[in-house]
């Protein structure tokens, strides 16, 4: 594989690097021969050990630590060129009952990443965000919305020496703890609980998330939020029907903090979003970013009142499309 120019001889650190995205993205990066080093920063030594067994590459390094510990981050970030910040607490129902822990990791941890990256002189820092950060109704979404805003504001603190941006997307097919993983479990053959038969969600494959991240890393000027333009959506009941066809669906009612539908882009954000073809780029609305917007002048402004919602998407995931996406996960 030919290494993209912006990754040649670069050291890339992934926070939360033993998670579904982080571990797969590390393997993806190491397929580029002239990437200098990939560092996994996470707090679970067992998962680090397991990952080291799965990926045997001398360029893969490990740093045990927690994003809540700014001093440890500063040590880990020494000599790092690019950071992909994927560390987060993510389980919606759990975080509704453990809100202080969510704030410590998702908000204060993100602030620590920003401060440590500036102190270490890191070139680029990219936040992995979620559709739940858009018009949030649960604590997880609220903390990720704050993290997005912190990353935009981080560009003021760095005075342009470190660039901060974010990517935003929906559920990754087959990620650890996802509904797809649960439905493929043989124990789902009997009965599957669905909170609302009308519920829809966005779905993305891991390779597509990697493409989005690479696009953001190659394009980011600082302060942008990048998202896929054509991300497929599907009703949860259709997902169950395809992946667990013999299971009986039981409607159990929505859980605390759960949305009926998700959004990736609001009409308010659309007013400052450029259509760049395959991706949409939300530009920061604060003053001081004017010079950075020039890169996106070739894009097309979005129509008035444009929004991107899982129940209104014109890109519905079919059975064939779902199975094709799942094959890319192998």
Q: What string of H, E and C letters represents the secondary structure of 239-265? A: HHHHHCCCCEEEECCCCCCCCCCCEEE
Bridge partners of 172?
204
Task: State how far the Cα of 112 lies from the Cα of 71, in Å rounded to an integer.
Answer: 9
Q: Is 211 a catalytic residue?
A: no
Residues 6+ apart with CB under 8 A from 273: 265, 280, 281, 282, 283, 301, 302, 306
Is-contact 167 127, C-beta < 8 A?
yes
Q: Which of 95, 90, 174 is nearest to 131 (CA)?
A: 90
The C-alpha torsion from 240 through 307 and 167 to 180, rounded to 10°, is 0
Buried residues in 297-309 as b, exposed as e (16+ CB within 10 A): eebeebeeebbbb
Task: State how far the Cα of 161 lies from the Cα of 125, in Å rounded to an integer.
Answer: 11
CA 159 to chain CA centroid, Å, is 25
What is the SS3 assignment for 50? helix
Token look-up 């087959």 returns 174
Residues 6+ apart with CB under 8 A from 284: 152, 155, 223, 224, 272
Q: What number of other Cβ atoms are within 10 A of residue 121's Cβ?
A: 14
Q: Which of 237, 132, 233 is nearest to 183 (CA)?
A: 237
Q: Which of 124, 132, 144, 292 is catalytic?
A: 132
Q: Which residues are catalytic?
A: 132
């Amino acid at each position: 594989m030919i290494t993209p120019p912006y990754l040649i001889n670069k050291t890339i650190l992934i926070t939360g690097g033993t998670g579904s995205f982080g571990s797969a993205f590390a393997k993806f990066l190491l397929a580029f021969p002239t990437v200098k080093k990939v560092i996994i920063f996470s707090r679970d030594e067992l998962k680090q050990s397991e990952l080291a067994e799965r990926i045997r590459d001398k360029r893969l390094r490990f740093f045990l630590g927690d994003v809540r510990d700014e001093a440890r981050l500063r040590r880990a970030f020494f000599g790092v060129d690019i950071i992909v910040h994927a560390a987060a607490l993510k389980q919606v129902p759990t975080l509704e009952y453990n809100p202080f822990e969510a704030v410590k990791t998702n908000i204060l941890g993100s602030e620590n990443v920003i401060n440590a990256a500036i102190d270490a002189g890191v070139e680029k820092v990219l936040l992995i965000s979620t559709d739940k950060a858009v018009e949030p109704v649960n604590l997880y979404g609220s903390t990720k919305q704050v993290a997005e805003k912190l990353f935009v504001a981080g560009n003021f603190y760095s005075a342009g020496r470190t660039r901060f941006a974010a990517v935003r997307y929906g559920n990754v097919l087959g990620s650890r703890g996802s509904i797809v993983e649960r439905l493929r479990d043989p124990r789902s053959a009997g009965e599957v609980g669905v909170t609302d038969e009308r519920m829809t969600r966005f779905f993305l494959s891991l390779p597509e998330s990697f493409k989005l991240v690479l696009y953001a890393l190659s394009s980011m000027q600082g302060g942008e939020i990048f998202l896929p333009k054509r991300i497929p959506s599907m009703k949860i009941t259709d997902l169950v029907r395809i992946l667990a066809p013999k299971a009986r669906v039981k409607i159990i009612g929505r859980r605390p903090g759960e949305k009926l539908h998700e959004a990736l882009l609001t009409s308010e954000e659309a007013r400052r979003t450029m259509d760049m073809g395959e991706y949409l780029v939300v530009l920061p609305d604060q003053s001081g970013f004017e010079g950075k917007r020039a890169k996106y002048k070739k894009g097309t402004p979005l129509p008035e009142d444009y929004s991107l919602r899982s129940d209104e998407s014109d890109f519905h995931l079919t059975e064939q499309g779902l199975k094709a996406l799942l094959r890319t996960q192998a």
